């Protein structure tokens, strides 16, 4: 079914999303998701920071202490 109707399905989804007002949609999502959305944002920030720290630490260990310093 998907192979047969994929362009029709994609068209319906594209048209539907194109009619959405971005600000109104984001407000509705935040109301529905509520506190969970805030936890997702915080977790994303923490995980991103930890990943950045891990990458920096590995790069410093592999390439020396001068990484990131301006000579």
Q: Domain spans of the chain? A: 1-32, 34-71
Contacts of 42-50 spanning 24+ positions with Cβ under 8 A: none
Q: What is the pLDDT of residues 10-37, one digit of tens each?
A: 999 999 999 999 999 888 888 888 778 7
Q: Look at residue 68 in the predicted model and tell me its pLDDT.
A: 56
Would you state the structure tokens that stand for residue 11, as one six-digit string? 């068209």
Spell out the residues 6+ positions from residue 29 whose beta carbon is closer than 8 angstroms to its own: 37
Q: Look at residue 10 in the predicted model and tell me its pLDDT.
A: 92
- Residue 63: pLDDT band by 50, 70, 90 thresholds? confident
Rounded percentage of the chain residues whose pLDDT exceeds 90: 45
Distance between CA 64 and CA 56 in Å, rounded? 11
Q: What pTM did the predictor assign?
A: 0.45
Judge whether 37 and 29 are in contact, CB under 8 Å: yes
Average pLDDT over the chain, rounded to an integer: 86
């Amino acid at each position: 079914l998907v192979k047969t109707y994929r362009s029709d399905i994609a068209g319906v989804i594209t048209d539907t999303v194109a009619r959405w007002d971005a600000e109104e949609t984001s407000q509705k999502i935040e109301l529905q998701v509520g506190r969970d959305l805030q936890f997702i944002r915080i977790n994303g920030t923490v995980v991103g920071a930890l990943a950045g720290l891990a990458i920096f630490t590995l790069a410093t260990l592999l390439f020396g202490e001068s990484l990131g310093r301006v000579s």
